[in-house]
Every structure is written in C-alpha cells, then in structure tokens.
A and B are shown apart, each in its own frame.
Chain A
C-alpha cells in the first residue's frame, strides 16, 4: 500500500464504518422483518429526513440556539471558576468538594425544578445545557494551572513577578490546551443537556419533536430526530476541534498539519 492510499483510507475509514453499520441495520430489519414502529430501516429514516427537512431544520435550530447559549455561558463561567480554583489553594479546597457533589447529581433531576421556577420554553434548556457542560471546563482549566512546572514558577518568582503576572504569562497560556480539550467534551454534554430538558418537558427543540412524534407512533420521525442530533453533535465537536488546532498549535509541537 502506498502512502497516498494509506492516507486516503484513513480519511475514508469513518465513512466506511458508518456505511457498514447502517447496512447491517438495514439488512437486519429486512431479514427479521422488524416492524417500522419498533425500528425503522435507515433508508426509511433518510427518506423522512429528506421529506420533512424544513420541520427538522426548524427544531434543530432551536436546539442549536439553546445549546450554543448554554455552552457560551459554561465557557465564561467555567474559565473564571477554573482559574480561581487553579490559582488559589483556598478556593480549591473550599469549592472542589461542592463541585464534585454538584456534578454527581443527575441533571435530569433538576429539569422539573427549573420548570417550576422558569416555566417551559428556552430558558430551562439553556440552563440545563450550561449546568451539565461547565464541569469539565472548570476541572481542565484548574488542572492546567495547577500543573505549572515548579521551575517555571521559580524563574518567574525570582524575576520578581507578581502572582498576577505568573497567572497571565504562564498559567493562562498553559491552561489553553486543557481548555480546548475540554470544550470538545463540553459541547457534546451541552447538547445532551438541552435535549434532556426538551424531552422532559418543553415545547420546542428537537427533543420535543421526537417526543411528540413518538407519542403519535411515528417512529421514523423520532429516529430522524435522533440522527439529526448525532449530526449536530459531530458538527459541534468538529468545530471545537478546529478551533483547538488553530489556537494551540504549540501544544502539538506543530505535528498536526491542516
């Protein structure tokens, strides 16, 4: 195999794997004669996606919106809290146990509470997305700060640098790759958050669309919604990965090209 073939195959692999999986699914449906209400054939799902693309797109955009707002809030809050926790041992020991406890609470459990407070609509979804996605950001930013090499710190201190200078000149740039690595995880979580909220109780978004289609026994549309979520998830992840490469080329020692 030549190098060119190798690299082509590497690029093609994810698509081949996906096609294989869908094909298997299609065949299983035909061979075992699975009724559409249980599990529609992928070909049928794509058919529905094409037929009802306008509705799907409308609901998708609603979800995308709430996710994006929740995610941006999570970045802002997560970075600030992460910096504070990473920079100060007191804030660390005070807040870390609380954060762990908070993260252990299943977020589905807080959606009904949010609805009591805020009613149905975009707000509970935004807040769920925010709440579920800020934790990995906080942890990663704090880790980036806390693992500054002691020698680097000594160099800065003996130059007479203030804590603030150490934070801005060493801590923040060092935490960047950690931050971007966490964004990939966080954006998927934010998605989960807003869809959960839409599914538990809402009147908008792709989660709501799936729920109402399910109630009408319209499995094909429900699955179409599922596919739409997966596609959005991949796109968001890819966007974050792209930003990561752009911003932290040094962390990969220039090895990633393109």
Chain B
C-alpha cells in the first residue's frame, strides 16, 4: 500500500511503511510515532510540520537509521535500514560545531569521515579547503574560515553548520529546525541560500520546522503530523514554480496553502 506516491516514477529513495516508535518500555513506554507511511523521491525536498512533541525529530532519526523502528519498516534505496545510513548530512537548531576547531576545520569534518573523501583527504587537502571556501562564500561567510565558532554570531554559526551538512554533497540532508533560533531577516535570507544550493545540487532533503511559510517556501511536499502519538494527517504538494522568492510568499496562492496548513494544525490544538 503506497498512498502518497511522489511524482517521479521508479522506486523512491526513502520508503517508510507503517513505521511506529515507542520510547521506554513497560509502564514508562510511550508511543511517539504511529503508522507513519511516506515515500521520498530522489531529489525531493519534503517538510514535516506539526505540534511540538509530535515526533518530528523522531521521524528524522528513523529515516537516517539513528533509531531502529519499534514497528514497520524503513527502506533506503529499496534496502531495509539497519543502523545509521552513511554519509547523511545533518543540521539542528543548535549549530553543534566543535569549539576546538576553526570554522574551516569544522566544515572539513565530514570529508575526514565519509568515503571516498576520507581516503583522499590527506593528499588532496588543498582542493578540499578550496571547496570549503567556496561553500562559505555561497552562504555569505567568505573569509571567516579562520575564526573559531565562538567568535561568530548565532546566525553565522548556523550557516557554518549548514555548510558542514552539505560539504560532502550528501545524498540525503536532514534539517531539524535549522533556522529556528534565528531572527526573521536572517531566516528568510537562509531560505533563499538553501533553495539555491538545492537547485544546484538536487540532494534529497527532509526539513522539520515550526514555520509554515518556511515549509511552503522550501518544500515540494509538506507533511502535517498530528499530536502525540504522531500520525501523518495531511499531505500537501506544493506546485509553486521555482526559484521561489520572498515575493512569492505574498502571492495569493502561497498564502492560501499556508492558510490551509495552519487550519489543519489548529484542529490538532483544539
């Protein structure tokens, strides 16, 4: 049973089949996610929205294999997921950079760990550093590579964290409220940076967010989750043309979609 078949044909990159997850055991057992079924096509950008504590972060950890499901099945490339799938890029609400590394060295980290870069890292360091500098420049951080993360502002740290998630050109990118802690201006600027990177590299992205405008701006498909235990209660295809701009967010079409989504979420709070 595949209710939400994405537009592009063949097998989807990620398949979740009736996935559920419970934390704890015995009387402390708590169902966080119930019967989640969804497909993510290669190169698709999906967003997951829903009330706080409904299991969005949990869903993300299931997709990357960081958590084993309590029930159901997660498949990536048609293979059942056992243990963390390799080479995924992740960014969280907190930047989680290493304070003992410079910004540049922080962003180099995935290249020291993920094959095939790991093998070529020592011999090709100069080339990789150049790649990092390019990426830094593309998020407006050119020339800040030598600074330590604690010498950067919150927004700059968050940009660095996005660079780290992207530098090894991952097939899958996981974003858990990466813009949540930023001011409105920086946030909207980073939406456009994110979209530009996605249009260029076409990675598959899962974005968890509280911000409906953000979800509609960035995603091809928006999933709305119910209150705990989280179930998917609405799927919304966003057909707006790309590249979307801030202007797009003021069009009637955009506002209508956001409005629909908001209404569905309000039902959860009722």
Q: Write out the residue numbers on chain A whose beta carbons fall within 8 Å of the beta carbon of B65.
A: 158
A157 interface contact, C-beta 8 A: yes
Instruction: Return B178 CB to nearest CB of chain A, in Å.
Output: 12
In Å, the complex CA distance between A254 and B64 comes to 36
Contact check: which of B86, B96, B174 meets A152 at CB < 8 Å?
B96
Tell whether A158 pairs with B113 under 8 Å between CB atoms, given A173-B98, A251-B99, A254-B148.
no
Contact check: which of A155, A156, A159, A253 meets B99 at CB < 8 Å?
A253
Determine if A160 and B114 form an interchain contact, defined as CB atoms under 8 angstroms apart.
yes
| Segment with Cβ contacts to A, from B14-22, B32-40, B87-95, B227-235 | B87-95
Determine if A158 and B96 form an interchain contact, defined as CB atoms under 8 angstroms apart.
no
Number of A-B contacts (CB under 8 A): 63
In Å, the complex CA distance between A179 and B98 comes to 17
What string of 1s and 0s marks CB contacts (under 8 Å) between A55-72 and chain B? 000000000000000000
In Å, the complex CA distance between A251 and B149 comes to 12
Determine if B94 and A151 form an interchain contact, defined as CB atoms under 8 angstroms apart.
yes
Q: Which B76-115 residues sit within 8 Å CB-CB of chain A? A: 84-90, 92, 94, 96, 98-100, 109-110, 112-115
B131 interface contact, C-beta 8 A: no
Q: Write out the residue numbers on chain A whose beta carbons fall within 8 Å of the beta carbon of B86.
A: 158-160
Q: Write out the residue numbers on chain A whose beta carbons fall within 8 Å of the beta carbon of B87.
A: 159-160
Determine if B150 and A254 form an interchain contact, defined as CB atoms under 8 angstroms apart.
yes
B66 interface contact, C-beta 8 A: yes
Q: Write out the residue numbers on chain B whose beta carbons fall within 8 Å of the beta carbon of A156.
A: 113
Tell whether A154 pairs with B99 under 8 Å between CB atoms, given A159-B86, A160-B86, A253-B150.
no
Determine if A254 and B66 form an interchain contact, defined as CB atoms under 8 angstroms apart.
no
Q: Write out the residue numbers on chain A whose beta carbons fall within 8 Å of the beta carbon of B110.
A: 159
Instruction: Return B191 CB to nearest CB of chain A, in Å.
Output: 22
Determine if B113 and A161 form an interchain contact, defined as CB atoms under 8 angstroms apart.
yes
Q: Write out the residue numbers on chain B whose beta carbons fall within 8 Å of the beta carbon of A169.
A: 109, 112-113
B151 interface contact, C-beta 8 A: yes
Q: Report the contact-size class of chain B (Cβ under 8 Å from the partner).
A: 20 to 34
A3 interface contact, C-beta 8 A: no
Tell whether A158 pairs with B85 under 8 Å between CB atoms, given A151-B92, A253-B150, A254-B151.
yes
Mostly, the B contact residues are: loop
A84 interface contact, C-beta 8 A: no
B210 interface contact, C-beta 8 A: no
What string of 1s and 0s marks CB contacts (under 8 Å) between A222-258 and chain B? 0000000000000000000000000010110110000
What string of 1s and 0s marks CB contacts (under 8 Å) between B59-73 and chain A? 001001110000000
What string of 1s and 0s marks CB contacts (under 8 Å) between A129-169 and chain B? 00000000000000000000101101111111100010001
Q: Write out the residue numbers on chain B whose beta carbons fall within 8 Å of the beta carbon of A159.
A: 86-89, 109-110, 113-114, 168
Contact check: which of B66, B100, B112 meets A154 at CB < 8 Å?
B66
Q: Write out the residue numbers on chain B whose beta carbons fall within 8 Å of the beta carbon of A157.
A: 66, 84
* Chain A residues within CB distance 8 Å of chain B: 149, 151-152, 154-161, 165, 169-170, 173-174, 176, 248, 250-251, 253-254
Rank and list the top 7 A-B pairs by shortest CB-CB distance, nearest first.
A160-B86, A158-B88, A250-B100, A151-B96, A157-B84, A250-B99, A173-B100
* Chain B residues within CB distance 8 Å of chain A: 61, 64-66, 84-90, 92, 94, 96, 98-100, 109-110, 112-115, 148, 150-151, 164, 168, 174
13 pairs across A/B with beta carbons < 8 Å? A152-B98, A155-B164, A156-B113, A157-B66, A158-B65, A158-B89, A160-B86, A160-B113, A160-B114, A160-B115, A165-B113, A169-B113, A251-B100
